[in-house]
Amino acid sequence: MDVLVSVFLPLSLGIIMLSLGLGLRVADFVRVIQQPRAVFAGLFAQVILLPIIVYGFVVAFGVSGELAFGFMLLAASPGGVTSNILTKLVGGTLALSISLTGLISLLSVITVPLLAAFWAGLFLDAGDVTVNVTSLALKMFAITAVPVAIGMAIRAAANRFATRIEPALSFMAAVLFVIIVIAAVAASWDVLVANWATLAPMTALMVLCLLALGWSVARALGLPVADRAAIGMETGIQNSTVAITLAGILHAGPEALPVIALPAAMYGILMYLGALPGGYLMYRVTKGAARAPAQAPSF
């Protein structure tokens, strides 16, 4: 099982992040300067408010110990490629979504180790998890930032090659994601069954609230509806693969995939239950806004 933690999980996450990097360009980061208000809204919602909301859910539903830490580890993780796909489907600003995913993924090298250390001290007993901030930051850099940078370099140096391999790599990333989620659920099946009545509604409701959180922050800053949809999806759809991989790396016990990984695995499945109704409402609003100019009378 050590091979799962030391080889398979980091390698799988590396492939997923490489797939993300292939879809990024330098222009996506230039957008931080060009659209500061939209980028600030996304960063504020996902990096600052999201962990606070998730902590509120953990307290409200009486979740504690390893499960609570698992939810907070998920809250500290960046968004994933799925948020980009869903943003496109609901009519959101895809370019903004991609920019936020890339930027927050790179920032996670700093934010995740610090937040992991904080939440571990709050929810776990000494010895359950060992969080060395510097060591974890280096590992985060190796399995997230480096693959993203390689993907961007390939896109910049060989655009045709990147375009040709991107579909296959995206498919491989999706398959690996499914395998990781199933493995994490199977490893903590008894805990899942015992806590299903609490964890399932909590997770599904949490997704809806996080989608609404991103939309509301963007709306409060006066952003157009397409940007609201992008920021809503970025806030509501987290990269559960990062959280599962970190759970395996951080856990001090003999299990390759501990209970800490279960919240992220559940989220990887149940996020779609929240994303479907939330995404449908976003779609209705964005499409309505797109039609409005055409329906307005001309003078």
Question: DSSP string covering the chain, please?
Answer: -HHIIIIIHHHHHHHHHHHHHHT--HHHHHHHHHSHHHHHHHHIIIIIIHHHHHHHHHHHTT--HHHHHHHHHHHHS-B-HHHHHHHHHTT--HHHHHHHHHHHHHHHHHHHHHHHHHHHHHHS-TTTB---HHHHHHHHIIIIIHHHHHHHHHHHH-HHHHHHHHHHHHHHHHHHHHHHHHHHHHHTHHHHHHHHHHHHHHHHHHHHHHHHHHHHHHHHTT--HHHHHHHHHHHH-B-HHHHHHHHHHHB-SS-SS-GGGHHHHHHHHHHHHHHHHHHHHHHHHHHHHHHHHHHSPP-
If one counts every other C-beta atom within 10 angstroms of the C-beta of residue 28, the result is 19
The amino acid at residue 110 is: I
How far apart are alpha carbons 262 and 243 in whole angstroms? Answer: 10
Class of domain 2-286: mainly alpha
* Closest to 166 measured CA to CA, from 295, 264, 296, 25: 25
Given this model, what pLDDT does residue 68 score? 93
Q: Could you read off the pLDDT tens digit of each residue along the chain, which spans 299 residues?
A: 455 555 677 788 888 888 888 877 777 777 667 788 999 999 999 999 999 999 999 999 999 998 999 999 999 988 777 888 888 888 888 888 888 888 888 888 899 899 988 998 889 876 667 778 888 888 888 888 888 889 889 988 888 898 898 888 888 887 887 887 887 788 778 888 888 888 888 988 999 999 999 999 999 999 999 999 999 999 998 888 888 888 888 876 655 567 888 888 888 888 877 788 888 889 889 988 777 654 443 33
How far apart are alpha carbons 166 and 19 in whole angstroms? Answer: 7
Q: Which residues pair with 129 in a beta bridge?
A: 251
Q: Which residues pair with 79 in a beta bridge?
A: 238
* Closest to 104 measured CA to CA, from 51, 153, 168: 51
* SS3 of residue 296 by DSSP: coil
Given this model, what pLDDT does residue 296 score? 41
For residue 186, give every residue at least 6 positions away whose Cβ sits within 8 Å of its Cβ, in sequence order, or none: none
Given this model, what pLDDT does residue 269 score? 82
How far apart are alpha carbons 148 and 249 in whole angstroms? Answer: 20
Token pair listed for 138: 């280096």
Can you give the pTM of this predicted structure? 0.83
Given this model, what pLDDT does residue 193 score? 86
Distinct helix (H) and strand (E) counts, the chain: 15, 0
Geometric angle at alpha carbon 200, from 197 and 201, rounded to 5°: 85
* SS3 of residue 79 by DSSP: strand
Domain positions in the chain are: 2-286
If one counts every other C-beta atom within 10 angstroms of the C-beta of residue 106, the result is 18
**φ and ψ of 297, to 5 deg:** -70, 150
